[in-house]
Chains A and B, each alone.
Chain A
Amino acid sequence: MAAGMALILGVVKVINLSHGAFFTLGAYVAYALAERGVESPLAAAPLAAVIAFAFGVFLGKSFVNPARAHPFALPVGTLACALLFEQAAQMVWGPHPLSIEAGEPWIGPGGLVIRQWGVIAFLSSAALLGGLKWVLSARPGLPLRLIAEDEEIAGSLGMDVEAIRYLTFGGACAMAAAAGALLSPSGAVTPTMGRAPLLLSLVVVIVAGMDSVAAIFLLSIGLGIFGNACAWLLSPQWSYVALLAVVCLLLSARPAGIVVLAGRRD
Chain B
Amino acid sequence: MAVRTGSYPRLPFLLIGSASLFLHFFSLVLLADPTFAASRPDALKIGVLAPLSGPYAAGGTSFVQAATLAVEQANAEGGVFGQQVTIVVGDTQGRVDVAKAEALRLVSREKVSALVGAYLSEETVGVMEVAAAHRTVLLVPVAATAEITDLVRREYARYRYVFRVGYSLPQWAEMIGAFLSDRKVRRYAFIGAGIRWNRELGETLERIVGPQGIAPAYTAYYSPGNPAFDTVAVAAAAASPDIVILADPGRNSVSLLKRLREAAPALPALSIGGALGDARLAASIPLSAPVYVQAAAWRGVSPAATEYVERYEHRFGAPPVGYSDTLPYDAITVLVAAWRKAGSGATETVVAVLEREAFAGVAGMYRFDAAHQAHWGTGPGALRGTFVRWERGGARIVFPRR
Q: Could you tell me which A residues sit within 8 Å of B by CB distance?
A: 13, 62-63, 66-67, 69-71, 73, 77, 80-81, 83-84, 87-88, 90-91, 94-102, 104-105, 113, 115, 185-188, 190-193, 195-196, 199-200, 227-228, 230-232, 235-237, 239-241
Bound CA span A84–B27, Å: 12
Some 30 contacts from A to B, beta carbons below 8 A apart, are A67-B13, A69-B3, A71-B3, A77-B13, A91-B23, A91-B26, A95-B52, A95-B58, A95-B60, A96-B280, A97-B254, A99-B285, A101-B286, A102-B258, A102-B262, A186-B255, A186-B258, A188-B275, A193-B251, A196-B226, A227-B226, A231-B228, A235-B221, A236-B221, A236-B223, A236-B227, A236-B232, A239-B226, A240-B223, A240-B226
Most chain B CB within 10 A, of A80, A95, A97, A195, is at A95
Please tell me which one of the listed residues A67, A70, A100 contacts residue B284 in the complex, with CB atoms under 8 A apart.
Answer: A100
What is the CA–CA distance of A7 and B278 in the complex, to the nearest angstrom? 40
Question: Does residue B181 face the partner (Cβ distance < 8 Å to A)?
Answer: no
Complex Cα gap A62–B275 (Å): 39
B interface, CB within 8 angstroms of A? 1-4, 8-9, 12-13, 16-17, 19-20, 23-24, 26-27, 30, 52, 55, 57-58, 60-62, 194, 220-223, 225-232, 234-235, 250-252, 254-255, 258, 262-263, 275, 278, 280-281, 284-286, 318
Contact of B13 among A73, A87, A98 (CB under 8 A): A73
In angstroms, how far is the closest chain A Cβ from the Cβ of B277? 11
Q: How far is the CB of B271 from chain A (nearest CB, A)?
A: 12
A90 CB contact (under 8 Å) in B57, B227, B258, B284? B57
Known contacts A187-B258, A196-B225, A200-B226; is-contact A84 B231 (Cβ 8 Å): no
- B20 and A101 within 8 A (CB): no
Min distance, Cβ A215 to any Cβ of chain B, angstroms:
22
B8 touches A73 (CB 8 A): yes
Say how far A55's CB is from chain B's closest CB, in angstroms.
13
Given A94-B61, A98-B281, A101-B286, output 13 extra A-B contacts at Cβ < 8 Å.
A69-B3, A77-B16, A95-B60, A96-B61, A96-B278, A97-B250, A97-B278, A188-B275, A191-B57, A196-B225, A200-B226, A236-B228, A237-B223
* CB-contact partner of B262 in A95, A105, A228, under 8 A: A105
With a cutoff of 8 Å between Cβ atoms, the chain B residues found around residue A99 in the complex are 254, 258, 280-281, 284-285
Partner of B27, one of A73, A91, A193: A91
Q: Are B221 and A237 in contact (CB under 8 A)?
A: yes
> What separation, in Å, do the CA atoms of A69 and B4 have in the docked complex?
6
Give Cα distance in the complex from A96 to B223, angstroms: 20
| Smallest CB gap from B321: residue in A | A96
Bound-state CA distance A88–B27 (Å) is: 9
Query: Contact: B231 with A113, CB < 8 Å?
Result: no
Give how many A-B residue pairs fall within 8 Å (CB-CB): 147
Judge whether B4 and A227 touch: CB under 8 Å. no
Distance A227 CA – B229 CA, assembled complex (angstroms): 11
* B residues in contact with A230, CB < 8 Å: 228
Contact A235 B12 (CB under 8 A): no
> Which of A77, A115, A191 is the one whose CB lies under 8 Å from B12?
A77
Q: Which 3 A-B pairs have the closest CB atoms?
A: A187-B255, A231-B228, A97-B251
**Given the contacts A192-B55, A196-B226, A240-B226, A95 and B23 also touching, CB distance less than 8 Å:** no
Q: Which residue of B lies closest to A103 (CB)?
A: B286
Across the interface, do A237 and B194 meet the contact criterion of CB distance under 8 Å?
yes
What residues on A are CB-neighbors of B55 within 8 Å? 192
Task: Name the CB-closest residue of B to A232.
Answer: B231
Complex contact B16–A188 (CB within 8 A): no
A94 to chain B minimum Cβ distance, whole angstroms, is 7
Q: Which residue of B lies closest to A84 (CB)?
A: B20
Q: Which residues in A have their C-beta under 8 angstroms from that of B234?
A: 232
Closest to B278 in A: A96
Query: Within 8 Å CB of A80, what residues of B?
Result: 13, 16-17, 20
- Of all chain A residues, which has the CB nearest B234? A232
* Chain A residues within 8 Å of B12, by CB: 62-63, 66-67, 77
Given A80-B16, A80-B17: A98 touches B280 (CB 8 Å cut-off): yes
